[in-house]
Structure 1
Amino acid sequence: MVEQSILIHYHIFKNAGSSVDACLQRSFGSLWGTFEGEHAHDVQSSGQLATFIQANPGLKAVSSHLARPPLPHRGCLPVTFVRHPLLRAYSVYRFSQKDETQPFAEVARDRNFAAYIEWALRGDPGSIVIRNYQVVHLSDASWRGGDILQACATEADLGQAQNLLREWGIVGVVELFDLSVQVLQETYAPLLPGLRLSSCWENSTARNILPWEHKVFELRNLIGDELYAAFMQANRLDMALHTCAREILLSSAGRSRNQTRARPGLRGFEMATP
């Protein structure tokens, strides 16, 4: 397999992925591609993504909601963003209210946000979208149960997702979007000439100018302390992943500031190949 440098954007739903995709399309035009399955829950393996890349030589970047790690080959440059689970849940809720084509959109349309959270905590079909979904997306939990809608993340899955991000050594955090794209740009631009990641926002319910902790506080007040506690307990794995992602981002930002001569690169690519 030709191990060309190609950026792989693992697009987790409602994690600023449309903004990243807009930058990639502006950067590479027809050399940016998308790779999805036959339907919204048709999860794709690393091998299937590798076949797609082989069939489309010359691509500089690929984005996918449905492809799952590990990277297809060691020439790939990973991008994914992690988000605070409550902020992400609100974004999923608002987006589903507005877009009737989304799976289970009627659930959001017919409920207020507190009732939407209660629906998720019952474990009704489709509610995995806001129950530790980010850990599911980045671990083997995606493959268990025969259907992504039946997925259930475990502590082992959290460990796998955390190790994946640590091996990559680079990750975006939605609440630190500007810093994230700066680090990604500085790290990947020498490897992908033409890459232009910037602080552009696409498809956002509203870019909040207040600190993200303030927005969490507002949503906590909206749904009440009891429901907030239950939601955060149900999403404790995603919250741990968010903490891990923030640590990795801040560490990589520090390395980026200190690198004045060395060529930017990634740690752990040899560990992330199939």
Structure 2
Amino acid sequence: MFRFAKASINTNPEFLDSSVLLVKKTIIAHAHIFKNAGTTIDWILERNFGSGFQDDRDDTRMRKEREYIFEVLKAKPKLRALSSHSLRLPVPSSDVWDVHTIVMLRDPMLRVRSVYDFERKQVADTPGAQNAKRMNIAEYVAWRLQDDVAPTIRNMQIRYLTSNSMPQRFSPTSEYLEEAISFVEKNPLIGVVELFDESVVLFSEHFSKTEFEIDFSYQKQNVSRARAVSREERLAELESDLGAELYARLMSANELDMQLYEFTKAAVVKRFELVDGADQKLDDLRSACRALA
């Protein structure tokens, strides 16, 4: 198995009053951004923790109440890992829980096709699912770029890392980009979809210093469709489907997300290069994933 040895940190698995808790309880929180390989991350967490993992779907409270996550943890003291599409970031500090937040980012332009493909096949009555089924991708993107439509493909990752309660008509500014970059700089558990394996190695390194012993080998989940080989080919295909004018509008609507993504990708590469035996650990992970398959 692809694992690192766990450190010997003793914690009480039950909720205790902070006045008698000597060591904080370690919790993994996965900030699951839509169509950013989050289902695979959830699969890893559920495989490791079983009933100690929860995919929380109370999006309204999680989005509006920054400390709602602690209510969930207090109500379910055996939880070790939690995932939410609406986790407010950054998670506030706590005297009781030491929350380690995993976030995956993705090339925002490549993400668009994945969002569309998923909503076309999704069994749901949301506006996105309904429109994806009746619209071609150009019509769908034009609809999604409207100010009165949820900003699912408009600087979505900037919004998530800074304030996912931001009104959908509000466009993030450079100040929000700076805030998101600061979050990436401070959080060792930021990965990128296009460097998924390298990101997972970094996650493994981080948790090797905690009480957890986590097997990060995985099987890909919720993959929409086979892709053209290179990024350039995939973008050329998208531009051909959208037309030059709409493609340019889409790029403009994701300018800050692209800057955030490029910064994060460079940070992941640099962090990975600093891991002792990084290439061997990457090979070990991939061998473990092949064994799972």
- Segment of structure 1 superposing worse, 222-231 or 233-242: 222-231
1:13-32 aligned at under 5 Å gives the runs 13-32=34-53
Q: Which residue of 2 aligns with 1:155?
A: 174
1:143-182 aligned at under 5 Å gives the runs 143-145=165-167, 149-182=168-201
Output one character per residue of 1:75-123: Cα deviation in whole Å (capped at 9) or x when no partner.
2111111111121111111111111315211111111111111112232
User: 1:227: how far off?
Assistant: 1.9
Secondary structure at the residue paired with 2:274? Answer: helix
User: 1:201: how far off?
Assistant: 0.8
User: 1:244: how far off?
Assistant: 1.5
2:122 maps to a residue whose letter is D
Structure 1 consecutive aligned stretches of length 4 or more whose deviation exceeds 4 Å:
none
Matched, 1:107 2:108: no
User: 1:207: how far off?
Assistant: 5.4
1:133 maps to a residue whose letter is M
Q: 1:78 is matched with which residue: 83, 86, 101?
A: 101
Contact 1:8 1:63 in 2 (8 A): yes
The structure-2 alpha-carbon separation of the partners of 1:195 and 1:207, relative to structure 1 and needing over 3 Å to count, comes to farther
* CA RMSD, Structure 1 to Structure 2 (Å): 2.3
Q: What CA distance in whole angstroms lies between the structure 1 residues aligned with 2:134 and 2:148?
A: 15
Q: Which residue of 2 aligns with 1:123?
A: 147
The structure-2 alpha-carbon separation of the partners of 1:87 and 1:102, relative to structure 1 and needing over 3 Å to count, comes to farther
Matched, 1:136 2:155: no
Contact 1:181 1:199 in 2 (8 A): no
Secondary structure at the residue paired with 2:30? Answer: strand
- Segment of structure 1 superposing worse, 153-162 or 69-78: 69-78
User: Which one has a bigger Cα radius of gyration?
Assistant: 2
User: 1:224: how far off?
Assistant: 2.6
The structure-2 alpha-carbon separation of the partners of 1:211 and 1:185, relative to structure 1 and needing over 3 Å to count, comes to farther
Structure 2: 5+ residue runs without aligned partners? 1-17, 279-293
Q: What CA distance in whole angstroms lies between the structure 1 residues aligned with 2:227 and 2:81?
A: 28
Aligned pairs, number: 253
Q: What CA distance in whole angstroms lies between the structure 1 residues aligned with 2:264 and 2:78?
A: 31
The structure-2 alpha-carbon separation of the partners of 1:228 and 1:29, relative to structure 1 and needing over 3 Å to count, comes to same
Contact 1:7 1:79 in 2 (8 A): yes
Structure 1: 5+ residue runs without aligned partners? 260-274
Q: 2:84 is matched with which residue: 64, 74, 84?
A: 64
Contact 1:50 1:72 in 2 (8 A): no
User: 1:156: how far off?
Assistant: 1.7
Q: When the two structures are superposed, what TM-score results if normalisation uses the length of structure 2? A: 0.79
The structure-2 alpha-carbon separation of the partners of 1:198 and 1:116, relative to structure 1 and needing over 3 Å to count, comes to same
